[in-house]
Amino acid sequence: MNKLIVMAVCCAALFAGACSKNEPQTTPQERPILIKTGISEVTRAPQLNGTGSGNFTTGDCFTLHVWEEPHSPGAKIVDYTVGTTQIFWRDLAFGESAQVTFAACYPRQELVDGRFVFNLEQAEERDLLLASTAGVAAGTTPEVALTFRHAMHRLVVNCTVEDPASSLAAEEIELSCRAKSTCTVDLTTGTLDTTEAGSATFTAQGASGVFLIVPQDPADVELEVRVGTLSKRYTLAELDPECDTLAGGKQLSVNLTIKDGSIHFDGAAIEGWGDQGTIEDEIIM
C-alpha cells in the first residue's frame, strides 16, 4: 500500500513538471498593448453624452505613431481600428528598457517623418483630433491612455431676426467665412504650422453656421453676412482687437441681430471647447 502511494506521488510530480514545461512563458515582448482612448469635449459623433466628452466606437480608425525618444527612423505607424486591431510589444520591436511615446490622430492620415498636411477643403472629416502620451515603458502591462483633443478652432455664428415689419427670414441669411484652411501637423510635437497655409471660403445658409478653421490670427479670418439687400464684412480682429489668436480646441461664438433694417453685432463669447474670455461690443451694419 505504501509503495502505491509513493508511486502515485512520483507520477503526479512528473506530470506536473511536464505540464509546466509545456506552458508558454509570457515575456514582456509577448504582452499585448492595451490602448484606452477618450475624447475631450467632443461635439460631433462619436459622442456619448451631452457634456461633449465621449469615446470612439467599434470600427473607428485612427493613425497611431509610436517611437523611442528621441524621435528616430525606427518609429512605428499603425492604422488602429477600435475593436479590431490588437498590437503586441513584439510588433513594435523596441528594447525592453525603452521609453516610448504614443501619439495619434483621427481621422487616419498618411505620415511622413511623423508629419502630415491637413486641408480643411479636402478633408471628409474636418474635426481633427490629436492625442499623445509619453514615458511608456516598453513591455509594460498597464493601459496606454490616449485622450484626444480638438486641433481646429470652432467659429459659431448665430443670427436672430427681430424686425416684425421686415420681410426678411432667418433661412435667407447667407454666411461666409474666409480663413486659412491648411496646416502641417507634427505628431512628434503636437504642433500645427500655418506659415505657408492657403486660404479658403466656407459658407452656411440659415440663422446659424459652424466653421472649423485652423488656429490662426483673427486678422486672417473674414466673416461676411448677407440677407436681402443687407450685407456686412469684417475681420474677427475688428470685433476684438485684444484677441491675438484663435487657438485650437477653443470656440468663438459671434451673435448677430437683424432689426430696424440693420444687422447688429451683439457680442461674442468663447465657450464649449475652452475659455479665452468674452467680447462685448455692438456693430450696426
Which domains, and CATH codes, for the chain?
28-150 (2.60.40.2680), 153-279 (2.60.40.2630)
Predicted confidence pLDDT, tens digits, the chain (285 residues): 444 443 443 444 444 444 444 445 567 667 776 656 666 654 444 443 333 356 777 888 899 999 998 777 789 998 988 888 888 888 888 887 788 999 999 999 999 999 999 999 999 999 898 989 888 888 876 678 888 888 999 888 888 877 665 677 778 889 999 999 999 999 999 999 998 888 999 999 998 899 999 999 999 999 998 888 888 888 988 877 777 889 998 888 888 887 776 544 344 333 335 554 344 334 344
Rounded to two decimals, the pTM is: 0.78
- Digit-coded pLDDT (tens) for 148-193: 888 999 888 888 877 665 677 778 889 999 999 999 999 999 999 9
pLDDT of residue 33: 65
User: Sign of the CA dihedral 203, 110, 136, 46?
Assistant: positive
Nearby residues of 221 by Cβ (< 8 Å), 6 or more positions away: 155, 177, 178, 179, 180, 213, 235, 236, 237, 246
How confident is the model at residue 267, as a pLDDT?
A: 42
What pLDDT, on the 0 to 100 scale, is given for residue 148? Answer: 84
